[in-house]
Chains A and B, each alone.
Chain A
Amino acid sequence: MIPVEWFLTLSVVMFVGGLFGVLTQKNAMRILISVEIMLNAANLAFMAFNGVFYNADFPNSFSASDFEGWVFVFIIIGVAAAEAAIGLAIFLSVYRNFGEIQITNIFTLKEQEV
């Protein structure tokens, strides 16, 4: 068995990488992709932790709470799909209005200098 720390390390690397992407990328689509990477980092962490917590006697006896982490992963996947759907729709409407989705060029809403 691979120790859980390895998974966690990979997960943290993914999370920080995704975060870095969110902070540095200029294209909204790329930011969305970076967020998806962050979500997958969380998924990986859930999987790894559940591997630690589940009943060692697994196939023979288990209860629903042994799968909490894995169940959550499915829910996160579903939510991520819904989020991506809304995101694509919003990007489309931004594209229609601004002709681009470079977020650095979209800043009509801000404080006016007085």
Chain B
Amino acid sequence: MTWLPVSVLFLGIILILVVDLIFREKAKVYTVILSVLTLSFSSLMVIQTKGTNAGSMFFFGDFYVFFSIVGLLSSIIVVFSAWKDYSVELDLGVFFSLLLLANAGGILIAASRNFIPLYLGYELVSIPTYAMIAFKKKNRSSAESGLKIFLLGALSSAIIIYGLAMYYGATGTLQMGGDIINHSKTLAIAALVLITVGSSFKIGLVPFHYWIADVYSGASVSVVNFLSASSKKMAFAFVFQIFFVGMSSWHNSYTYLFAILATFSVIVGNIVAVVQDRLLRIIAYSTIAQAGYIVMGIVAYGEGNTFTKELAMKGILFHITAHVLMKGAAIAAILVVISSTKSDHINNFRGLFHTSPITASALAIAFFSLMGIPPAAGFYGKFFLFLSLVEAGYEWLALIGIIGSAISIYYYGKVIRIMVDQPESKEKLNSFTPINVLLVVLTILTLLFGIFTQDLAIIAENIVAQNP
């Protein structure tokens, strides 16, 4: 009963593989339908299983519900964009089963209260991701980006494991929230630094961010969508589990590290994005910057009292939800352009408002949201994050965040301006109905985000209450 969401996913994987094997070329639509059904059904099951008891290793609270559902629903966006993506459509069934497998890992991460299942979930997300990135077997850049993320990812995972070993040595348990045994401070410091480094790689903080730009520009666009909208959220869930639950009593040590990393990320991400001329690379660097904003939430959470913690958690949840919507929409829109023009160079977006109004307006609204302009979704998250930083006494970090946002207006605005220009040719882009539906839905959700903030705020308060 407890593991119904995961069982549903595995059932879905088997069905998809069977259908794919049997129908071959004709299986595309069925696998899409099956994946969407599986993901939605699994989300329903997640809500059903909230609050069940499965021993001390797991806890099925609000954190579990939120992050599982964010992962599952954002994967639906990936399913739709992969449907359109010419470069993965040949083996769609395999691709989707990898996607569902990664989601099973995400659920495991969100439910854990012990480092063993947590780490297992982390690898269950990472390993299918490597496979998805290197999915286009005959494509040089796909293979190369797969190689890069695999080598660096394996390195970071080895570092995390070593950190966990040190944690085990320092606390004598792998259960989260262990206290440090006497005389093991050195081990604790080693554990903290190693785990911070390993998880910073996954969420892409400077200076562990190098893979992001290369992989985003090398892999298929739908994989980029997965990395940015879905897998990144699972990685964040991993980080939150470790630092909010696992090391909850160490908070006066890790806030320093994350303040430094957040500063680097926001500054470097935003500044390097300014000089980019390919949309996917802009998205990549903006992802680095956005990760910096979310990490600011970790700083505020670790430093503050309950009220600040609630503010920070609200900011984190808002920003993560908004990030799914706006990044999902932006990358799906870029995918439409790429599948027509075969390149994501900024010049291919010239006059997009005239050739493909839906795509262009979805992209524009997503960018407004990323800038943090109200009432788009991105505004709420940033607002609460900066607010919690001020409450926690980190005004300087909030200031850096605001400067970063100001810089981001420049490069997003550049793209929007180019899209308004007169196009070079009046040719309409090929449009694809499911993607258009997806874009419309995401855009509406982005604009109406304010409606959901109330519910998310309650979830955030519950999470803070449930964390030790």
Contacts and interface: CB of A to CB of B under 8 A. Distances in A.
Interface residues of A, number: 47
B175 A86 contact: no
B147 A69 contact: no
Contact of A110 (B115, B127, B164, B214): B214
Interface string B41-71: 0000000000000000000000000000000
Contacts of A35: 151, 154-155, 158
Contacts of A31: 151
Interface in A72-111: 72, 75-76, 79, 82-83, 86-87, 89-91, 93-94, 96-98, 101, 103, 106-111
B378 to A, nearest CB: 26
A103 B218 contact: no
Interface string B133-146: 01001111101111
B383 interface: no
A108 B166 CA distance: 38
Contacts of B155: 22, 35, 38
B139 A97 contact: yes
A42 B174 contact: no
B158 A45 contact: no
B275 interface: yes
A49 B175 contact: no
A72 B150 contact: no
Interface in B252-293: 275
Contacts of A109: 141, 144-145, 148, 214-215, 217-218
Interface string B196-225: 000000000000000001110110000000
Interface residues of B, number: 44
Contacts, number: 128
A56 to B, nearest CB: 13
Given A93-B143, A103-B151, A86 B162 contact: no
B169 interface: yes
B311 to A, nearest CB: 35
Contacts of B115: 72
Main secondary structure of the interface of B (DSSP, over half): helix
Contacts of A108: 140-141, 144
Interface stretch (B84-92, B116-124, B412-420, B446-454): B116-124
A69 B173 CA distance: 8
A18 B161 CA distance: 14
A106 B147 contact: yes
Interface string B163-181: 0111011001111000000
B154 A68 contact: no
Contacts of B275: 114
Contacts of A94: 143-144, 146-147
B202 to A, nearest CB: 14
B76 to A, nearest CB: 25
Contact of B146 (A75, A83, A93, A111): A93
Most buried by B among A11, A18, A50, A65: A65
Contacts of A32: 151, 154
B411 interface: no
Given A65-B175, A97-B144, 14 more contacts: A15-B162, A18-B158, A53-B172, A68-B168, A75-B120, A79-B120, A82-B127, A86-B131, A87-B154, A94-B146, A98-B143, A103-B151, A109-B217, A111-B213
- 9 shortest A-B CB distances, which residue pairs? A45-B165, A38-B158, A109-B214, A42-B161, A68-B174, A49-B169, A35-B154, A97-B143, A42-B162
Interface of B: 115-116, 119-120, 123, 127, 130-131, 134, 137-141, 143-148, 150-151, 154-155, 157-159, 161-162, 164-166, 168-169, 172-175, 213-215, 217-218, 275
